[in-house]
Amino acid sequence: MSRREYSQPCSLACALDRIGERWSLLIVRELSLGPLRFSDLARSVGGAPTDVLTKRLRELEGHGIVRRVELEAPASGAAYELTELGRGLERPMLELGRWGLNFEEVEEVERLAPTSLPSAIRILLRPPADAELTVGVRSGGATYTLRIRDGWVAGSRGESGAADVVLSGEPRDVLAALLAGQAGEKRVEIEGDRAALEALREMVELPARLRDDALAEVDGLATARTA
């Protein structure tokens, strides 16, 4: 038995024995958007040494959370994806991300990678059960689709031809457009239904401190541009 295991008759300890190591949940975060080759996963996770990433993937495979698959044509080669058991981590992962907002600072958004943008938006949104919306997100040369149904936000890589609204821009600018209304739209390209965008904004839930700081940041940028 590994010294890192808690070895306690507790379901939380059992969960941490399987996903509590560094990088493990970030691997789940990236694979929640769909399969990735090892090289793409290494870039998306952001900074994990390749030997450590290899070890984490083997551990997650051993626990039945991740599996290797062959990509379908026209793609080729092996990739990693979440199993059904691994998919069960999505909701607790997003809830943990929402809890983590209590410790975030607005300045940190400057360092948000485009690959992390769809997950960041999923964390921010609390859609009502009757909401149905498809959102396209383009950033860093990649496209993502968020499908809002039954109170849940499903995320995937790639473009949906039926998006109600599409937001294109740097991660900080896309988030500003969601958080600050029209005042935050200055550097974002918006396509589609404006009513859908307003409905999307109504779903954003942030700690009051973070929302106030975000609005102040947008106001400061607007003032600087007009000065």
Q: How far apart are CA 116 and CA 113, in angstroms?
A: 5
pTM of this prediction?
Answer: 0.90
Q: How far apart are CA 117 and CA 124, in angstroms?
A: 11
Q: Are residues 171 and 216 in the same domain?
A: yes
Say if residues 119 and 44 touch (Cβ distance below 8 Å): no
Q: How far apart are CA 171 and CA 154, in angstroms?
A: 19
Q: Is position 165 within any domain? A: yes
Q: Are residues 72 and 136 in the same domain?
A: no
DSSP 147: E
Q: How far apart are CA 15 and CA 17, in angstroms?
A: 5
Q: Please list the pLDDT of the chain residue by residue as tens digits (227 residues).
A: 344 788 888 999 999 999 999 999 999 999 999 999 999 999 999 889 999 999 999 999 999 999 999 887 777 789 999 999 999 999 999 999 999 999 988 888 888 999 999 999 999 999 999 999 999 999 999 999 999 999 999 999 998 778 999 999 999 999 999 988 877 888 999 999 999 999 999 999 999 888 888 888 877 655 444 44
Q: Is position 3 within any domain? A: no
Domain with residue 52: its CATH number is: 1.10.10.10
**Amino acid at position 30, single letter:** E
Q: Is position 119 within any domain? A: yes
Runs of H (alpha helix) within the chain: 11-19, 24-31, 38-45, 50-62, 84-87, 90-100, 117-124, 171-179, 194-202, 208-226
Q: Are residues 133 and 198 in the same domain?
A: yes
Give the relative orientation of helices 117-124 and 90-100 as an angle to the nearest 10 degrees: 80
Tokens standing for 14? 């059992």
Q: Are residues 155 and 121 in the same domain?
A: yes
CA angle 37, 40, 43 (to 5 degrees): 150
Q: Is position 5 within any domain? A: no
Q: Residue 162, exposed/middle/buried by CB under 10 A (0-12, 13-18, 19+)? A: exposed
